[in-house]
Amino acid sequence: MVAAVPDGAGGGRKPQADISGGHLGRTSRADISVSESRATVSKWKSQSTFYVSIAPPLRAGSDRPSEILLRLSRPKRRCRRASRRDAGQQWQDSSSESIDRVEITFLGTSSGVPTRSRNVSSVALRLSQRGELWLFDCGEGTQHQFLRSDLKVSQIRRIFVTHMHGDHIFGLMGLLASIGLASSPDRIDIYGPAPLSDYLDACSRYSKTRFSYPVRVHSVKPGLVFEDKEYRVECQRLDHRVTAYGYRVQEKDRPGRFDIDRAKALGIPPGPVYGQLQRGEWVELDDGRRIDGSTLCGAPRPGRSVVYCTDTVYCDNAVKLARDADVLIHETTFAHGDAQMAYDRQHSTSTMAAQVALGAGVKQLIATHFSPRYTPTSTVSLNDLIDEARAIFPNTIAARDFMTHALPPKEA
Ligand SMILES: [Zn+2]
Ligand SMILES: [Zn+2]
């Protein structure tokens, strides 16, 4: 799907090419497209039928067996839309573990080039309570991977880019252009190495593309990249052929579980006030009583952490960045026996990724960014790479496209 607003679509207005920090004006053409797109979406949403998707046939040598996927329209999660309307409802929904999850979905797990079963790099992080998606890297075809998943591009709020190699950024322009037609985000923030801003600027200028929403590009340096009330994102330099950054998303510690039975026993009527109490705030009730929310909550719950390191050969900064993380997603391009190739190309072997996980004391290693050279019929297969990693760090799994790994809330 070509989603860019073509030259002249804005009634002859000159295309704006400055993306950095720029607010690119809406065009009448884009507005029409957005409303048409929304009509289509709402029609689709009104359907609640099962549908069967048959995966494309795979060639011999593919690393994933042919399969038939039965998909079900995702049930609506009320908390995403209801959060601002009804704080009381939000409290009730957010207390459910099934909703209070951070989910990592792999949209591309191949290095360099796509294969029939693996696209090039992209990982989506779904922050369930916010109804937001954060994307890490955006290889070519990422927007097509979205179409084949349960994820919605309209929920993308931030994009973090590790480095400027094509298998990590060639999908970015198409995705950004399509987002403007599928939705109307308040703004998308993109973080990455310094050349990213010039790259997007040039792509926009030469393809005469302008976005119907603000896009802000941030050139990152080692250290803090983003912070708000709930999350903190930092990056560190990795060792690769070009400047590359690994990212760590750290959820901040959260208030402990709210004791609803005790609140009821105290005669506090359910409603938005429960949300305030759960956040540990003081509230004044209609009867004049003042209640300290922290007395109704358990011990603070530790935040969750996800670290994304690619592309890199083994480096101490990756260990530092991943210290005690819940999940480390680390590139695992080569088998241990191909270590020379890994050093030459500044990539990691299975054993290097495992050593980073071990050294950092993470809970889980998810290996990704596999070289297409390893297939089920090759002398060394992906299973061998994972076995090599597990020999050093047992809690290792291999990512595959569309795999979702959920992080439930942690208890104190
Ligand atoms: Zn790569
Ligand atoms: Zn690279």
pLDDT for 362-393, tens place per residue?
A: 999 999 999 999 998 999 999 999 999 999 99
Q: How confident is the model at residue 280, as a pLDDT? A: 82
Give the H or E element holding residue 42.
helix 28-45
Q: How confident is the model at residue 98, as a pLDDT? A: 55
**197, 219 in Cβ contact below 8 A?**
yes
167 is catalytic: yes
Residue 21 lies in a domain: no
Q: Which of 108, 217, 199 is nearest to 158 (CA)?
A: 217
Q: Which of 37-44's residues contact partners 24+ apart within 8 Å by CB, and which partners?
A: 37/181, 37/182, 37/183, 38/183, 41/182
Strand partners, 230: none
| Same domain? 162 vs 233 | yes
Centroid of ligand 1 to alpha carbon of 316 (angstroms): 19
| Same domain? 268 vs 348 | no
Centroid of ligand 2 to alpha carbon of 147 (angstroms): 25
Q: HSE, CB side, 13 Å, CA atoms: give it for residue 187.
A: 12
| Same domain? 277 vs 130 | no
Residue 88 lies in a domain: no
| Same domain? 250 vs 320 | yes
Q: What ligand has the least distance to the C-alpha of 239? A: 2
Q: What ligand has the least distance to the C-alpha of 112? A: 1
Compute φ and ψ for 214, nearest 5 degrees: -70, 135
| DSSP code at position 334 | B
Structure tokens at 182: 């599928």
Tell me the whole-structure pTM to 2 decimals.
0.74
| DSSP code at position 299 | S
Question: Is the backbone peptide bond immediately before 311 cis, with ω within 30 degrees of 0?
Answer: yes
Centroid of ligand 2 to alpha carbon of 386 (angstroms): 21
Query: How far is it, in rounded angstroms, from Cα 393 to Cα 333?
Result: 17
| Same domain? 215 vs 268 | no
Sequence-ordered list of residues with C-beta below 8 angstroms from that of 293, at least 6 positions apart, any chain: 255, 276, 277, 278, 279, 280, 281, 282, 283
3-state secondary structure 220-282: CCCEEEEECCCEEEEEEECCCCCCCEEEEEEECCECCCECHHHHHHCCCCCCHHHHHHHCCCE
Residue 202 lies in a domain: yes
Which positions of the chain have pLDDT values less than 70?
Answer: 1-99
Centroid of ligand 1 to alpha carbon of 244 (angstroms): 10
Q: What ligand has the least distance to the C-alpha of 312? A: 2
| Same domain? 242 vs 351 | yes
| Same domain? 106 vs 228 | yes
Residue 16 lies in a domain: no
Tell me, what amino acid is at 187?
A: R
Centroid of ligand 2 to alpha carbon of 294 (angstroms): 47
Catalytic residue (choose from 167, 311, 326, 401): 167
Residue 371 lies in a domain: yes
Write the CATH number for 205: 3.60.15.10
Owning domain of residue 290: 260-296
Q: How confident is the model at residue 182, as a pLDDT? A: 81
**175, 153 in Cβ contact below 8 A?**
yes
Q: HSE, CB side, 13 Å, CA atoms: give it for residue 257.
A: 13
Q: What ligand has the least distance to the C-alpha of 345? A: 2
Centroid of ligand 2 to alpha carbon of 22 (angstroms): 28
Residue 143 lies in a domain: yes
Residue 354 lies in a domain: yes
Residue 15 lies in a domain: no
**Tally of domains within the chain:** 2
Centroid of ligand 1 to alpha carbon of 112 (angstroms): 5
Query: How far is it, in rounded angstroms, from Cα 32 to Cα 39?
Result: 11
| Same domain? 157 vs 273 | no
